[in-house]
Amino acid sequence: YCGEWNKGNFNNGSWVISEDVKYVGTYFKNKPKFKGNFLFSNNMKINVFFHQFVNLSNMNEEEIQLIWKNV
């Protein structure tokens, strides 16, 4: 991860997934949130929007579900 950190949490920047793919965007509790982009080494770009859902009945705050769609 390369970008902004706050109190041990990654907030904004790049996540290198492999040598061919990286994700650039904003994060909440170290997971993607809101608008972002998957960038590929062949210059292809996929714009996505992540929604985070927290199950309030579960006290484990690390368990966040991610749902994404192409924008």
Number of folded domains in the chain? 1
Domain that holds residue 8: 2-70
Segments of the chain with pLDDT less than 50 = none
- HEC string of the chain equals CEEEEECCEEEEEEEECCCCEEEEEEEECCEEEEEEEEEECCCCEEEEEEEEEECCCCCCCCCEEEEEEEC
Question: What pLDDT shows up at residue 25?
Answer: 92
pTM: 0.66
Which pLDDT does position 31 carry in this prediction?
Answer: 82
pLDDT value for 24: 92
* pLDDT at 22 (0 to 100): 92
